[in-house]
């Protein structure tokens, strides 16, 4: 068996004392920066790049990969405890995870996230090992038309993220789309909505918007009313999920892993959709859709598994094609080049020890993370007892440092302040921030791919339906729409979209 001997090679590389140590350093650092709101994996890896000169290529890549998926673990901690997602993927976790924390189930939510992530990470690692080459071929079949249709599907699904009025959710999606337009038009170079400031030429920073509408807004809201928080800490009865909760977790975790693994492979935008898609799926399938948005366990288990699976499988295009699926992967390419490794399809055959070593280390790293994180849950939950006047200034300072470190752009801090206020106003109007963020992320991708597809087809719009994958995705989106608007099933729609007690 080729696969077994390859995995054996990988584990022999990854389990050397030195590589185990770097893997541990990576996941520790990753967890730490993930827990500190705002400071992302991108900034950390960029700062550590020069240090990797001195290391063996395998060790340095193992460490950097550890930071990346470690940050995915840590990021959900802040999303659950203080409603402060550091990355797009944990924005979904914040919806139900934070509600669980407010009900005193923070420990359960954190354990669910950790266990779901571990399971998804392990499965996805083996998927990477087995399917990397054939899956890459699928990713390459995705052209502009296919991405456009994928984004359409994402937007259609986004309405399901709302647990208030559908109209308000649509309004938030549209506002998100508009915010996503800020910046330079890729095709003509025309600046849009930049108000003449070159600092906004590349658009609004995602971290700034997310930290603002979720985190800062939450702080402002909490300052109004301190009782909520006391409830949060007083009601903690146990840290670990019950047998019943474990049983509830299985389905969402399995489905999340599947959804995340598939979407993670697509370079550019696929991984972003993973957690959103999983949330939608869980809400549709749930017997109690009304619980979503109020602390549904499945709303944490599914998306957390999906984003971790996506984080692992997004290594597939990197390792087999040398193509980055996101900014962190672009940095990993930089790290490989610094080490004199030319990223590309040859890495697997020319550097088998490196390729399989990294894959094996991912599984070891996931194991380390779950071992590290489960005992830490008690500690994280204790953070909730830290008084406001200590915790909030610290959070604000960490956020500001983190957001600034992404681009060294002071305008990003103005954006945090602005979106913090906007988020506060939105919460007063009972508008959800999640659909806004999805619109913000998907809008630019939707537009870019729509126009690229149209240029490539020389102005022929049938390109979207004559290409089979694109047509399939559009039919699927249409099916979701029909399901929503067909009067016969209106009753079911009401269950899906509105709060039962609203």
Partner 1 sequence: MPTITRRILLGTALALGLAGAAAAEFPDRQITLVIPFAAGGSTDVVGRIVAERMGQELGQQIVVQNVGGAGGSLGAGQVAQADADGYTILMGTVATHALNPLILKQKPYDPVADFAPVSLLVLVPNVLAVNPELPVNTVQELIDLAKQEPLAYASSGNGTPLHLSGELFKSMAGIQIDHIPYKGSGPALTDVLGNQVPIIFDNLPSASGHISSGKLRALGVTTAERAPSFPDVPTIAETLPGYETYTWNALFAPAGTPPEAIEALSAAAQATMADPAVAARMAEFSATIVASGPEELAEHVKAEMAKWEPVVRDANVSLD
Interaction site with partner 1 (CB under 8 A) = 42, 45-46, 49-50, 53, 139-144, 184, 186-191, 198-199, 201-202, 267-268, 317, 321-324, 327, 330-334, 337-338, 340, 342-347, 407-409, 448, 452, 455-456, 458
Whole-number minimum distance, CB 452 to partner 1, in Å? 6
Tell which residue, 296, 274, 272, 270, has the closest CA to residue 285: 296
Q: Which residue has the tokens 């088998």?
A: 352
Tokens of 186: 């890729």
Whole-number minimum distance, CB 349 to partner 1, in Å? 9
Classify residue 143 by burial, with Cβ atoms within 10 Å: 0-12, 13-18, 19+: middle
Whole-number minimum distance, CB 208 to partner 1, in Å? 13
Tell which residue, 286, 339, 472, 273, has the closest CA to residue 63: 339
d(CA 83, CA 495): 26
Q: Which residue has the tokens 């395998």?
A: 58
Whole-number minimum distance, CB 360 to partner 1, in Å? 23
Our measurement of the distance from residue 324's CA atom to the centroid of its chain's CA atoms, rounded to an integer in Å, reads 16
Beta carbon nearer to partner 1, 157 or 453: 453
Whole-number minimum distance, CB 102 to partner 1, in Å? 37
Query: 212, 418 in Cβ contact below 8 A?
Result: yes
Tell which residue, 41, 442, 386, 415, has the closest CA to residue 215: 415
Whole-number minimum distance, CB 421 to partner 1, in Å? 24
Beta carbon nearer to partner 1, 230 or 466: 466
Beta bridge partners, 183, equal 192
Beta carbon nearer to partner 1, 301 or 332: 332
Whole-number minimum distance, CB 353 to partner 1, in Å? 18
Whole-number minimum distance, CB 333 to partner 1, in Å? 6
Tokens of 387: 């008084």
Phi, psi of 184 (to 5 degrees): -80, 130
Contacts with 278 (C-beta within 8 Å, 6 or more apart), sequence order:
92, 252, 255, 256, 259, 260, 302, 303, 305, 306
Beta carbon nearer to partner 1, 303 or 343: 343
Whole-number minimum distance, CB 219 to partner 1, in Å? 28
Beta carbon nearer to partner 1, 138 or 391: 138
Tell which residue, 169, 388, 370, 383, has the closest CA to residue 280: 169
Beta carbon nearer to partner 1, 202 or 494: 202
Distances 267 to 75, 76, 86, 327, 480 between C-alpha atoms, Å: 22, 23, 21, 11, 25
Beta carbon nearer to partner 1, 42 or 77: 42
Beta carbon nearer to partner 1, 73 or 147: 147
Beta carbon nearer to partner 1, 164 or 327: 327
Around 451, how many Cα atoms within 13 Å sit in the side-chain half-sphere?
9
370: number of Cβ within 10 Å? 17
Q: Is residue 142 helix, strand or coil? A: coil
Beta carbon nearer to partner 1, 257 or 463: 463
Phi, psi of 284 (to 5 degrees): -65, -40
Pairing of strands 191-192, 183-184: antiparallel
Whole-number minimum distance, CB 29 to partner 1, in Å? 16
Whole-number minimum distance, CB 320 to partner 1, in Å? 11
Query: Which stretches of 325-409 are DSSP H helices?
Result: 327-338, 346-350, 352-382, 388-407
Beta carbon nearer to partner 1, 333 or 367: 333
d(CA 161, CA 434): 7
């Amino acid at each position: 068996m080729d696969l077994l001997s390859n995995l054996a090679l990988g584990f022999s590389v990854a389990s050397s004392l030195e590589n185990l140590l770097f893997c541990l350093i990576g996941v520790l650092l990753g967890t730490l920066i993930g827990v500190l709101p705002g400071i992302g994996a991108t900034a950390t890896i960029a700062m550590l790049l020069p240090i990797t000169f001195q290391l063996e290529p395998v060790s340095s890549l193992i460490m950097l990969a550890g930071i990346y998926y470690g940050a995915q673990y840590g990021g959900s901690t802040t999303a659950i405890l203080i409603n402060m997602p550091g990355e797009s993927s944990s924005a979904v976790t914040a919806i139900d995870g934070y509600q669980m924390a407010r009900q005193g189930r923070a420990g359960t939510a954190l354990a669910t996230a950790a266990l779901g992530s571990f399971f998804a990470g392990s499965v996805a690692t083996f998927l990477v090992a087995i399917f990397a080459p054939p899956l890459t071929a699928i990713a390459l079949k995705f052209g502009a038309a296919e991405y456009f249709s994928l984004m359409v599907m994402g937007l259609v699904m986004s309405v399901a993220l709302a647990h208030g009025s559908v109209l308000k959710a649509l309004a938030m999606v549209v506002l998100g789309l508009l915010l996503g337009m800020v910046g330079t038009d890729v095709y003509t170079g025309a600046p849009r909505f930049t108000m003449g400031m070159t600092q906004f030429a590349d658009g609004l920073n995602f971290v700034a918007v997310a930290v603002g509408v979720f985190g800062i807004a939450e702080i402002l809201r909490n300052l109004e009313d301190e009782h909520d928080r006391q409830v949060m800490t007083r009601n903690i009865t146990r840290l670990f999920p019950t047998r019943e909760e474990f049983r509830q977790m299985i389905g969402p975790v399995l489905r999340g892993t599947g959804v995340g693994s598939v979407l993670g492979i697509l370079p550019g935008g696929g991984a972003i959709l993973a957690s959103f898609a999983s949330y939608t799926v869980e809400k549709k399938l749930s017997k109690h859709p009304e619980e979503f948005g109020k602390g549904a366990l499945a709303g944490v288990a599914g998306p957390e598994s999906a984003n971790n699976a996506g984080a692992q499988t997004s290594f597939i295009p990197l390792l087999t094609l040398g193509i980055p699926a996101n900014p962190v992967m672009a940095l990993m390419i930089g790290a490989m080049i610094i080490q004199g490794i030319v990223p590309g399809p040859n890495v697997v055959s020319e550097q088998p020890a490196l390729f399989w070593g990294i894959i094996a280390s991912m599984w070891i790293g996931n194991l380390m993370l779950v071992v590290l994180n489960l005992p830490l849950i008690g500690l994280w939950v204790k953070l909730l007892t830290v008084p406001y006047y200590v915790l909030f200034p610290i959070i604000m300072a960490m956020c500001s440092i983190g957001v600034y470190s992404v681009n060294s752009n002071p305008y990003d801090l103005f954006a945090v302040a602005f979106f913090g206020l906007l988020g506060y106003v939105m919460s007063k109007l009972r508008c959800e921030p999640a659909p806004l963020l999805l619109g913000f992320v998907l809008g630019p991708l939707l537009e870019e791919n729509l126009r690229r597809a149209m240029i490539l087809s020389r102005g022929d719009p049938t390109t979207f339906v004559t290409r089979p994958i694109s047509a399939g995705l559009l039919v699927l989106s249409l099916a979701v729409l029909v399901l929503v608007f067909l009067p016969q099933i209106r009753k079911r729609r009401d269950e899906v979209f509105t709060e039962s007690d609203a």
